[in-house]
Structure 1
Amino acid sequence: MRPVAVLVGLPGAGKSTVGRLMAQRLGVGFRDTDEDIEERTGRSVAQIFAAYGEGRFRELEQAAVRIALAEHEGVLALGGGAVVDPVTRGLLAGGPVVHVDAEVPEVLGRRQGVAGRPLLAGNASARLRSLAAQRAPFYREVARVTVPTRNRSAAQVTRAALLALSLHPAR
């Protein structure tokens, strides 16, 4: 595994925000597998879900994670459901994985927390609670460290993640 840090967590947990801050502080690049998929397919994640379903999206996601882990040397953010795939969990095993641990009410309270997320369509609260319960064991399995976001700014979460992984900001 090449990345200096890989971020996992619920949709809307703040993985991309924290990942960009971590990358900036470390002086390395940032990559997001959802953005990789969108760039490769020319469609948004929501469009892929609508046109091809979750199964096809997960296939694309597994390939994107595999490529990013092999190529990217900076900070990598994975889609919230990437850890559901056992192959992906195997690829993450033993790596510098940070679980950005946001609670459901916190995600729901964020403007960008649920907007445009296909798996949260309809009753976002109920869907997010269900996803959190299903995915929690997978996040725990792959994470070297867990950083709670409750009552913390993105900068504070970033500092905690860097410290937990013993990563030092570039000068």
Structure 2
Amino acid sequence: MTPPVVVLVGPPGSGKSTTGALLAQRLGTGYRDTDADIERRAGKPIPEIFVDEGEPHFRELERQAVRDAVAEHPGVLALGGGAIMDDGTRALLKGLPVVFLDVELADAVHRVGLDAPRPLLAVNPRQRWRELMAARRPLYTEVARATVTTGGRTPAEVADAVLDALALSRGRTPDTTQ
């Protein structure tokens, strides 16, 4: 099976969903989001999975969703913000065209609001977001072939920057041997 043409990673509010859909359209391929896969399989939203079954159960669902998506989806793939915390997931992403969409707190707040139903940001969301990013930023950069900052850019500009970073154009796929 052909690997994904682009894999997007980054924190909540970085624009993975919006950018991913735009990239898929521009590249003439499909778009897939592992968070949506998890919700579909579980039959409930992610915040409910956290409450009902706990974070460890959610993370196992996430690991499986990423494995399945990487194996099955040749288009644009967006991973949940915490997927890169898993060693096996990071190993699976090695050699793939991964782009870290980097966003500052102020932009994330503006885009999604930190009062949105995000289980890991429920208490003191701004401080918790900073803590999550301190832990995750090195892992995002570890798996990424390129980093694209999203601050001050429209979704179309972010998509352009991703295409440029991976030297992609319509109908052209990245070299996955790097």
TM range (shorter): over 0.9
Give the counterpart letter for 2:158 in structure 1. V
Aligned residues: 170
* Equivalent residue number for residue 136 of structure 1: 137
* Equivalent residue number for residue 29 of structure 2: 28
Q: CA deviation at 1:122?
A: 2.0
SS at match of 1:122: coil
Q: CA deviation at 1:114?
A: 5.1
SS at match of 1:110: helix
Give the counterpart letter for 2:62 in structure 1. E
Report if the CA contact (8 A) 2:114-2:125 is conserved: no
Q: Does 1:157 align with 2:137?
A: no
Q: Which runs of 4 or more aligned residues in structure 1 lie more than 6 Å from their structure 2 counterparts after TM superposition? A: none
* Equivalent residue number for residue 97 of structure 1: 98
Report if the CA contact (8 A) 1:12-1:114 is conserved: no
Distance 1:114 1:147, change over 3 A: farther
* Equivalent residue number for residue 65 of structure 1: 66
State how far apart, in whole Å, the 1-side matches of 2:85 and 2:115 are: 19
**TM-score if structure 1 supplies the norm length?**
0.96
Q: CA deviation at 1:138?
A: 0.3
**TM-score if structure 2 supplies the norm length?**
0.92
Distance 1:15 1:123, change over 3 A: same
Q: Where in structure 2 are the equivalents of 1:68-79 lying within 5 Å?
A: 68-79=69-80
* Equivalent residue number for residue 109 of structure 1: 110
Q: Does 1:18 align with 2:44?
A: no
Q: Where in structure 2 are the equivalents of 1:50-61 lying within 5 Å?
A: 50-61=51-62
State how far apart, in whole Å, the 2-side matches of 1:115 and 1:78 are: 18
SS at match of 2:95: coil
* Equivalent residue number for residue 39 of structure 2: 38
* Equivalent residue number for residue 167 of structure 1: 168
CA RMSD of aligned residues (A): 1.2
State how far apart, in whole Å, the 2-side matches of 1:129 and 1:114 are: 15
Q: Which runs of 5+ in 2 are unaligned?
A: 172-178
Report if the CA contact (8 A) 2:114-2:126 is conserved: no
* Equivalent residue number for residue 127 of structure 2: 126
Give the counterpart letter for 2:94 in structure 1. A
State how far apart, in whole Å, the 1-side matches of 2:122 and 2:78 are: 22
State how far apart, in whole Å, the 1-side matches of 2:97 and 2:115 are: 27
